[in-house]
A and B are shown apart, each in its own frame.
Chain A
Amino acid sequence: MRADRLYLLWGLIVLALSYTIPYLVLRDCKSLLLYLFWLILTVAHLIVSLTYIGRWREWTD
């Protein structure tokens, strides 16, 4: 249950970052930093999500 809540919180933070950082911080970016930001965010989200789904338990009950 705790893992579920933590993952829910993580997911919401990732989505919030995906909308806010490009407009608040990287709006006028002159390099590929914005592209890299989204790419790194996705890779991080992928790693956390794959760890989370490796621990799916409820559904086998």
Chain B
Amino acid sequence: MDRLTASLLTLALYLIIGTVIAFISRKIGIKTTADYYVAGYKLSGILAAISYAATTYSAFMMVGLVGLTYKSGVGAFGFEITYLLSTIFLLSYVAPKVWRLARERKWVSPAEMVADLYGIKHLAILVAVIYLIALIPYASAQLIAIGRTVKGMTGSDIYLIGILIGVIAALIWTALSGMWSLASTDFYQGLWMILAALGFIIWLFSWGSEGGALWDGFERLSASDLLGMSSIWSIGTFIAYTIPWMFFAVTNPQVVQKIYTPRDEKALRRLVTLFTLFGLTYTVIVTMAGLMGRALSEAGKLPIIKIGDEVTPTLLAHAPLPLTVFVFTSIVAAAMTTMDAIVLTLSSAISRDVYQRTLGGTDRKAILIGRISILALLIVLSLVAYLRIGFIVDLSVLASALLLPLAPVTLIGWFLGERAKTKPIRYAAVLSLVVGFLTGLAWALTHGARKSLVTPIAGLPSTLFILLVSTLIMLLAILLSEVRKS
């Protein structure tokens, strides 16, 4: 069987199974927006956990992070593991509180959560706009990854067909029954991702060990700076890159929304446990693949690969065809799960926070608006992906940085409870969001999206500066509120 046929058959199989799963999940009745967007707060722990993991880990892992580790060494593992360390901490510490509050206050979208925490109805619209600006580029980048992966795995010039496959599958798997079809297909895709990653690393280890090339390569690596903090990972760069990801679990609505969904305490505990196990396994596999690839280049078994994103395809070119198409499809799955979740969460922001909040429509109409907005969002994403609008695509790397002001605002809101609704603190929440977000956006417009991340502001890593400014505004307001009280 040739590569094109094997690729198309595997993709077809992947799409058919996903669509069947989405249709089966349709049997579950959808009556309210809570049913549609947070599965009526009734997801099982295992579905919620794998859905959380599959949403978090995008195509960046198997393509970008393998390449980043190949080029910059162990520091890339530190970058990714710092995210995991922080997320385990945040989920363990705050998830029960958020889960309980979501039920008590009937939160469906994370934007309405922020508005409710501070008692400002229209704050939800501001937060929804921030989500749209920050996340549309990030979701577009996933669609671009799907197009490129389909093109790469088939070896044919079918980028546009790849985009269309992504859009149609996302539409069916997301719009059909919201979080139910999303979580069910995420579960299936999450399993595909982790099994493909395991197959990939086992093959790479076995192939690389032939003739002792891998061990020889690791010997040679020790002469370079790649096993320590290489020159690429200056402390400023490491902080600038890790800060937005440390707060990902708090700032990114597509994962915050998942915390609302487990059906009981046991399911929530299972979400945290299984997600961390998935995350650790996937991170170790992906970064080890990058290091092994580099060791094999050092040993002369592979050429030196200059472009990071080419590392995985170069390695897979030596793998058996079934494994190659299996892994390539897992990259499509990783991009798909991230894009689906973003589209659903943005749709909840449009239907709940913009439509229902301003026009007060019924739940039935809000679900219809939600489905229409999923279609509209996917059209926008496909246009950006097809035209590859430079600045918008570049902004995708800044998504978490632009959402960073939400970290202090959300965390302080969760912990202050009713005190967050006092005047100075309410105003500070709006000011903190606006100042932090505009600082990030202005920096990106001035220096270019990619460069702005590593260009310091006032001598500090830009993301740390944004976080500090937003946090200081909130802390000053808390201080002022205390002074007024006393």
Instruction: Give A contacts to B, CB under 8 Å.
Output: 4, 7-8, 11, 14-15, 18-19, 22-23, 26-35, 38-39, 41-43, 45-46, 49-50, 52-54, 56, 58-60
Name B218's closest neighbour in chain A (CB-CB). A32
Contacting pair B228 A38 (CB below 8 A): no
Known: A7-B93, A30-B222. A18 touches B99 (CB 8 A): no
Contacts of A52 in B (CB 8 A): 92
28 contacts between A and B (CB under 8 A): A4-B93, A11-B93, A14-B85, A15-B85, A15-B89, A18-B81, A19-B238, A22-B75, A22-B228, A22-B229, A23-B229, A26-B228, A26-B229, A27-B229, A29-B227, A29-B228, A31-B227, A35-B77, A38-B78, A42-B81, A45-B88, A45-B89, A46-B276, A49-B276, A53-B269, A53-B272, A59-B96, A59-B100
Contacting pair B88 A46 (CB below 8 A): yes
Contacting pair A28 B225 (CB below 8 A): yes
A18-B78, A58-B97 known; 9 new pairs, CB 8 Å cut-off, are A11-B89, A11-B92, A15-B89, A26-B228, A30-B223, A34-B78, A35-B74, A39-B81, A50-B276
CB distance from B174 to the nearest CB of A (A): 30
Contacting pair A42 B227 (CB below 8 A): no
B481 within 8 A of A: no
Name A4's closest neighbour in chain B (CB-CB). B93
Give bound CA distance, A58 to B99, whole Å. 12
9 cross-chain pairs, A with B, having the tightest CB-CB distances, nearest first: A59-B96, A11-B89, A29-B228, A49-B92, A30-B222, A59-B100, A38-B81, A28-B228, A27-B229
Give bound CA distance, A30 to B227, whole Å. 6
B265 within 8 A of A: yes
Contacting pair A41 B85 (CB below 8 A): yes
Q: Which of the four size classes fits the interface of chain B?
A: 35 or more
- In chain B, positions 1-43 with a C-beta closer than 8 Å to chain A are none
Contacting pair B78 A22 (CB below 8 A): yes
Contacts of B223 in A (CB 8 A): 30
Contacting pair B228 A56 (CB below 8 A): no
Instruction: Give B contacts to A, CB under 8 Å.
Output: 74-75, 77-78, 81-82, 84-86, 88-89, 92-93, 96-97, 99-100, 218, 222-223, 225, 227-229, 235, 238-239, 246, 265, 269, 272-273, 276-277, 280, 284, 287, 291
Give bound CA distance, A29 to B222, whole Å. 8
CB distance from B121 to the nearest CB of A (A): 27
Contacting pair A34 B228 (CB below 8 A): yes
CB distance from B449 to the nearest CB of A (A): 25
The contact of A42 among B218, B239, B273, B280, by CB within 8 Å, is B280
CB distance from A42 to the nearest CB of B (A): 6
Contacts of B228 in A (CB 8 A): 22, 26-30, 34
Give bound CA distance, A56 to B266, whole Å. 10
CB distance from B125 to the nearest CB of A (A): 30
Contacts of A29 in B (CB 8 A): 74, 227-228
Q: Which of B92, B96, B280: most chain A Cβ within 10 A?
A: B92
Contacting pair A39 B227 (CB below 8 A): no
Name A12's closest neighbour in chain B (CB-CB). B89
Give bound CA distance, A52 to B359, whole Å. 44
